[in-house]
Chains A and B, each alone.
Chain A
Amino acid sequence: MTGNYKTWPMILLLGIITVPLVLMYVYLFVDTVTNSAPGSLVPNEITGEHWRFLWQTLPGRPSIWTATFNTFLFATVTTLIVLSVSSTAGYALSRLNVPFRAFFLAGVMVLHAFPTVTLIIAIFLILQFLGMYNTLIGVILVKASLELPFGIWIMKGFYDTVPWEIEMAGIQDGASRFTVWHKLVLPQVMPAISALGIFSFLAGWSEFILPLVLAPDNKVQVLSVYLAALIADDNNFDMALFKSVGVFYVLPVIVLFLFFQKRLMSIYGGGTKG
């Protein structure tokens, strides 16, 4: 930002392009608590009826609370697996004399860029073989695995920034490599771990294709599949209801985003999928 150029043309330019996006999100919230006359875009009454799914189960669907619990379980367990596995593997690849280290690093890098959805047919059949089709644990293991290369990559990058001297000092002070990792290095990468944790949680919370294919059953349904099924049902078209479920679904995401915006930006900028 420099002082010699006018700012307003830039703000105006971006502002115009941003209008549709803002409209979509503003109406997302407005429409959930109001009604408008058909053909009109201006709300004419305030109502709570669109939120009825919270206390009554919609026909043919599981209870929203079952789906919410499943989603929470799915996102949380996935996150825990990703964090524990990538914080150990990332350290080994960053700092230890592991045999075939270059090979593993290349592998992680290739997998990190590798399009995981292409594997879904094989994974679907593997879960069928293992008898884990239509179970939460099956889809959790799959989601965690597919997130791992990214997690390991990010953690390795963060471990790389910890000064070597801290580890050298630890070793001189008589600590084993394990103690050095867990007592001295791990505390230095806590910001990375929390960023990766929030990221994984959001990724799990938002995941659609994997649960759709691997665990579509009502009992194990997550919110994304719930909402998609609701929208796809041509017999019960109710945009305001869809949006209300949508807001219910996206609220935790927005809250996390507002609280951890800086950290998330650093990790989204660090080379994620998309």
Chain B
Amino acid sequence: MNGSKSLGLMLLTPAIVFVLLFFVAPVILTAVFALTNMSTATGITGGAYQVTQSSLRKLAESYGQAELANTLAETRYTVNEEGLEAIAADGADARLVAEMRAKLGGRSFEKRRDLESAIKTLNSRPRNTRALKALSDTFHRSIVNERFESADAMLRATTNLGVALSADQKSALADATYTGWVWTTQNFTRMIALPDTQRTLINTFIYVFATLAIFNTGFALVLSIATHYMPARPAGIFRAIWLLPRISPPVLYVLLWKWLAWDTGFLSNFLANFGVAPRNWLLDNPTNAWIFIVLINGFVGASMGMLIFSSAIKAIPGSLFHASEVDGASRWQQIRYIILPQLRWPILFITCYQSLSLLTSFEYILLATEGGPGGATEVWALKTYLTALNNYAGNLEYGYGAALALVLVVVGVVLSLAYLKVFDFKTMVRPPRIEQ
């Protein structure tokens, strides 16, 4: 196996398969689903055909087939072979069966009374009214609330009713009664039209910028610079403590914040000493909810900046610090003129990278406030999740959710391509030095 080409492809194949299956396919499918009205109600595989009150209303209103809708909605009585065999099996008089087949076969009646009066004209008619009623009921035919696996089956049943359909009526009926998903662009018009969307967008911006500015870069800088001016031991301890939020599983980490903020929690208990009534600080009003959302995400986000900035500071030659101290620089001057200029690139990196991951992360918000109170902390990614995968109404709207997700996917692709541009791609693809 000397060819590095074939060996390379062989070593890459598993990765390619995984990436195709769970990255490329989902990206494409997100776009596809965004153009459908898939939901729990429509199912994700093909649907069935069902004549319901609502589909008949749709037939009348959207397809202009009010007359057909009325006809189908009516209960009908039809004398056909099926019914005749049924009464024969029930032990009806053979002469009656033969006479009905001959005189009434194939005829339809709108009301039971009409069928009954027709039967009454027969020679071998049943003598008592109860038998007559039972006999008529056997010929009762309707397709309302019946479920058909295919359009053909439904149309055959309609014909059986004695309702003749034109080609137009056939296709209108099939469309109106289809319960599966269909192609549509309504998701996008809906997204633009809803005032909700605008609010979610504003929430998303608040979330990303506040967390990024205050914690992921701001506080991360404080952490890395402060630990730089400490002896190794306390510096290590502080770094380890601030890495805890990152290391802790999100469910547990948010639980700790709930303990801090809930009405029976630490804050309420502590503030009770000062006469403040206990309350759920996490959800009592939007401002407090936002403060906690930023804190919760920021405490996690600060650690990455801290590590990257710290190693960048460590890379500054010690002689620079010594020289500046000999020159009489204050600590603030040292930070301003030596440390910060060295951190320009790491700060840009963190900003690029984390704005993207914040934009699409919703795990901590889901666990902490679930977007509450009253949707005040619902960001785009969380809204996507709640729409498509978890909501109180129970009807999961995959199509609309996919349309919402598609916006994030597009933003994600654009930002990660930009990210590629910012960071030196050329040195990364330097050709291998062994040329075989």
Contacts and interface: CB of A to CB of B under 8 A. Distances in A.
Chain B binds chain A: yes
Interface of A: 1-2, 4-5, 7, 10-11, 13-14, 17-18, 20-25, 27-28, 31, 38-41, 84-86, 88-89, 91-93, 95-99, 101-102, 104-107, 109-126, 128-129, 141-142, 144-146, 148-149, 152, 164, 167-168, 171, 176-178, 181, 202, 205-206, 208-209, 213, 223-224, 227-228, 231, 239, 242-243, 246, 249-250, 253-254, 257, 261, 264-265, 268-269, 271-274
Interface string B230-255: 11101100111111111111111001
A96 B420 contact: no
A122 B12 contact: no
Contacts of A171: 434, 436
Interface stretch (B77-85, B153-161, B197-205, B256-264): B256-264
Contacts of B243: 257, 264-265, 268
29 contacts: A2-B318, A7-B229, A10-B230, A11-B230, A17-B222, A20-B260, A22-B241, A28-B252, A86-B15, A97-B431, A97-B435, A98-B12, A113-B419, A116-B23, A119-B409, A123-B22, A126-B25, A126-B29, A128-B44, A129-B45, A168-B433, A181-B11, A213-B390, A228-B251, A228-B367, A239-B264, A239-B265, A261-B240, A274-B303
Contact of B15 (A10, A88, A99): A88
Contacts of B259: 24, 27-28, 31, 239, 243
B1 A178 contact: yes
Contacts of B322: 2
B21 interface: yes
Closest 5 pairs between A and B when the two form their complex, measured CB to CB: A115-B360, A269-B307, A98-B8, A96-B8, A145-B22
Given A92-B11, A113-B419, A269-B307, A120 B429 contact: no
Contacts of B97: none
A231 to B, nearest CB: 6
Interface stretch (B53-61, B142-150, B350-358): B350-358
Given A213-B389, A243-B259, A274-B354, 7 more contacts: A2-B321, A21-B244, A31-B259, A40-B269, A115-B408, A119-B409, A239-B259
B131 interface: no
> Which label, helix, strand, loop or mixed, suits the secondary structure of the A interface?
helix
B177 interface: no
B238 A14 contact: yes
Interface string B345-383: 000010001101101111100110000000000000100
A69 B409 CA distance: 34
Contact of A121 (B223, B360, B405): B405
A21 B22 contact: no
A122 B238 contact: no
A40 B415 CA distance: 49
Given A85-B15, A89-B15, A114 B4 contact: no
A253 B15 contact: no
Contact of A106 (B240, B255, B425, B436): B425
Contact of B405 (A10, A24, A118, A242): A118
A96 B432 contact: yes
Given A5-B331, A114-B412, A178 B7 contact: yes
B19 interface: yes
A1 B229 contact: yes
Q: How large is the interface on B (under 10, 10 to 19, 20 to 34, 35 or more residues)?
A: 35 or more
A113 B12 contact: no
B217 interface: no
Nearest to A84: B14
Given A89-B15, A92-B8, A122-B402, A253 B363 contact: no
Q: Which of A13, A18, A89, A116 has the most C-beta atoms of chain B within 10 angstroms of its own C-beta?
A: A89
B15 A114 contact: no
A119 B11 contact: no
B431 to A, nearest CB: 8
Contact of A105 (B244, B245, B428): B428
B44 A41 contact: no
B307 A208 contact: no
Contacts of A223: 249
Q: Which of B11, B27, B299 has the most C-beta atoms of chain A within 10 angstroms of its own C-beta?
A: B11
B8 A21 contact: no
A153 to B, nearest CB: 10
A96 B5 contact: yes
Nearest to A258: B240
B8 A118 contact: no
Given A88-B12, A274-B354, A118 B30 contact: yes
B33 interface: yes
Given A5-B331, A97-B4, A125-B33, A271 B367 contact: no
B107 to A, nearest CB: 48
A149 B381 CA distance: 21
B118 interface: no
Contact of A118 (B234, B247, B256, B360): B360
A149 B234 CA distance: 35
Contact of B7 (A41, A113, A117, A177): A177
B93 interface: no
B304 interface: yes
Q: Which of A4, A86, A115 has the most C-beta atoms of chain B within 10 angstroms of its own C-beta?
A: A115
B193 interface: no
B266 A274 contact: no
B230 A110 contact: no
A106 B420 contact: yes
Interface string B11-44: 1101100110111011101100100001000001
Contacts of A115: 356-357, 359-361, 381, 408, 412
B268 to A, nearest CB: 9
Given A2-B321, A113-B415, A274-B301, A99 B5 contact: yes
B418 to A, nearest CB: 9
A228 B415 CA distance: 32
B2 interface: yes
A146 B360 CA distance: 14
A177 B4 contact: yes
